[in-house]
Amino acid sequence: MIATTHCFRCGGLLVPDYSGEGYARLTILKCVNCGRTPPGGASEPSKAAVSRWANSRQARQIPRHQSRIGRPAPPFRLMAVMNGEPMYLHSTRYRRRWVVLCFPGRLGLMERMVLDRQEHLFARADTALLVVAPDDLVADDPWARTSGPLSVPLLIDPMKRLARLYGVKHDVVAGRCHTFAIDPDNHVRFHHAHPLTVRSMEALRRRLSPRDVGTARRIVMSR
């Protein structure tokens, strides 16, 4: 795919489109001057264009979690619970893979069942699904280890450090999940706030289609 940095009509800088449906899509760009999109509406911005956008006045005016898009994903090393066992997880473990990082507003039995099922579906596409616990849990908490089926890694972030790095506040909209997609180059591709349901997770998985994931994997492997 050819990298496009400027509008084909007015020459303005192309930036990720955060409005409407384009907000959660992977490759939709829009001109900052005339608002037009490239032919076909899909193109990949170059690293130089992403850098210029991240440092621009427009980027500084948007909410913090949106400005994370196009930037490197913050590294982490956190306690986690996976299949009922506590362990440490480091972000380098998922290097060169797609990662879907979820910050659920709550994590009841229904949400845990949805995540447990989706983990297997994401794994088929070689995509890691990680969940950050919304409550002040500790790794040896009996609830975290035994409450309901949960094979997806549950990251324990009691100080909310990782949530702050992504600009997520769980008390803003109770019950909504903030999901970030991180590409194999460790850049945040998009952010989406949604109810944690089977339908919303399936829509997210469709955005990470085998074509998109396969293309990114081939680019990474060729370097």
Decide: 217 and 126 in contact? Cβ < 8 Å. Answer: yes
Size of the chain, expressed as the number of residues it contains:
223
User: What are 190's two structure tokens?
Assistant: 């998009």
Q: Which domain holds residue 32?
A: 14-62
Q: What is the pLDDT of residues 65-110, one digit of tens each?
A: 445 788 899 999 998 888 778 889 999 999 889 999 999 888 888 8
**What is the number of domains present in the chain?**
2
In contact, 69 and 58? CB cutoff 8 Å: no
**Residue whose C-alpha is closest to residue 104's, from 200, 152, 189, 175:** 175
Integer Cα distance of 193 and 217 in angstroms: 26
Q: Which pLDDT does position 129 carry in this prediction?
A: 93
Residue 91 forms part of a structural domain: yes
170 and 123 in a common domain: yes
Residue 58 lies in a domain: yes
Q: How far apart are CA 4 and CA 44, in angstroms?
A: 6
Clarify whether residues 121 and 86 are in a common domain. Answer: yes
Q: Is the pTM of this model over 0.85?
A: no
Distance of CA 189 to the CA centre of its chain: 6
Look at residue 28 and tell me whether its pLDDT is greater than 60. no
pLDDT in tens, 42-62: 444 454 554 554 455 444 444
Domain-terminating residue out of 5, 37, 62:
62
